[in-house]
Amino acid sequence: MVVFDGVVYKSKAEVVRELFKSGALRNEPQDKNRIAGMLGVAPQTVHATIVSYLNGGARKPVSRTTTDNFKSVREAINKAFDKCYEVAYSRAKNLPKIDILWDLKGTTAGQFRVMNYRPHFRVNLQLASENLEDYINQTIPHEFCHYLVWNDDRLNGLSRSRPHGGEWKFYMTVWFNRVPKATHNYDVSNACRGRRFEYKCVCSTHWLSAIKHTRAQKGLPYTCKKCRTVVKFQG
């Protein structure tokens, strides 16, 4: 990935193409030299990229895991969730099995979500396939513990607990012997589609989609879930 003017691109060539398409880069020596210097490439490289674009040069497709490989990934994930249920049953937790949806995209690895009073898991197959061992060992117990906490709150008539609060940490450490990390550190370059915009809060960096970036620029604040401060655009 390449960060240019606060925007994430998949390559330096994509930076040149997007700047040329937007009119920010003209097919003139002065412009090409300026962009080449900012990107750390030769002016000839910028020129060749523009020529390729004008000639309709095909872009290399991003390598993505095939559907056949996803089948084996789904099977592995189903087995991992089954093991989580076995842990719960061994501790006298009578948890009903819930649906797994395979529709999660972008930079989020997994989710436990409740829609219309129906709980379910969501899995990002792209990130799971690229990080399967860690996904099974860390992400699946992570989401399953959210389910355990939600079920406890439901049975006890409590309002929803903090997403990564003490109850969730207890299940992660005591039941599953896992480090209670709130976020993952997977490479998301293949999972990101379209531009991402760099924002920062007090504790970390956030990459917002083009839609969220537009909303933020119009005044809608986005808050970090960890430090609870408003993220700020770095462009």
Active site residues: 143
CB atoms inside a 10 Å sphere around CB 135: 25
Q: Is the dihedral of CA 219, 222, 228, 229 positive or negative?
A: negative
Return the half-sphere exposure (C-beta side, CA atoms, 13 A cut-off) of residue 101: 14
Distance in angstroms (rounded) separating the CA atoms of residues 232 and 89: 45
Cβ–Cβ under 8 Å, residues 110 and 139: yes
C-alpha separations of 30 from 46, 47, 118 in Å = 12, 11, 59
- Residue-wise over 163-186: b if at least 16 C-beta within 10 A, else e? ebeebbbebbeebbebebeeebeb
Cβ–Cβ under 8 Å, residues 89 and 98: no
Distance in angstroms (rounded) separating the CA atoms of residues 128 and 134: 8
